[in-house]
Copies of this chain bind each other. A is one copy, B any other.
Amino acid sequence: MVKMTIEEMAGYLDEVFPQVDGMFGIDRIDDELVVMRLLNHDRHLRPGGTVSGPAMFSLADVVAYVAVLAHVGREALAVTTHCSIDFMRKPEAGVDLLAEGRVLKMGRALAVIDVLLFSEGNRQPVAHASLTYSIPPKRTERAAG
């Protein structure tokens, strides 16, 4: 059961990552799926009008982070420990890049999230990523442990 709404999540991201303000939009957060999009992506373009690899990585990383937060609640300390990403197709010019994140495992200490990136309106994936987040124990647990 997700613990944060789109509005709560957007407010939280603005608070903890002010430097990416306006870079990402959140379309959907529920138990099955988190969907986000890369906004204002002109500044991420490479020659030929395509989105850069680092911008795609950023989008995959943030959708995984949001999927973890949605399940565990505000836990700003969750950190990426691993990402495997396959870049498969050139993103289409002139449309937004979307990312769908699915939680494959939400363990006590590790979460694994599967992410697919699409050009809006085309279901052939642009990239596919698997990310692992480490979820440090909460301060009270640590104090007790």
Contacts and interface: CB of A to CB of B under 8 A. Distances in A.
Interface of A: 16-17, 19, 43, 45-47, 53-54, 57-58, 61, 76, 79-89, 104-105, 107, 109-110, 112, 114, 125, 128, 130, 132, 134, 141, 144-145
Contact of A83 (B80, B83, B89): B83
12 contacts: A16-B47, A17-B46, A19-B43, A53-B57, A54-B57, A57-B58, A84-B84, A86-B104, A86-B105, A104-B125, A110-B134, A145-B145
A16 B85 CA distance: 24
Given A81-B86, A81-B88, 20 more contacts: A19-B45, A47-B76, A53-B57, A53-B61, A53-B83, A54-B54, A54-B57, A54-B58, A79-B87, A81-B110, A82-B85, A83-B83, A86-B105, A86-B132, A88-B105, A110-B134, A114-B128, A132-B132, A141-B145, A145-B145
A108 to B, nearest CB: 10
Contacts of A105: 86, 88-89, 125
A88 B114 CA distance: 12
Contacts of A132: 81-82, 86, 132
Contact of A82 (B45, B61, B84): B84
A110 B88 CA distance: 9
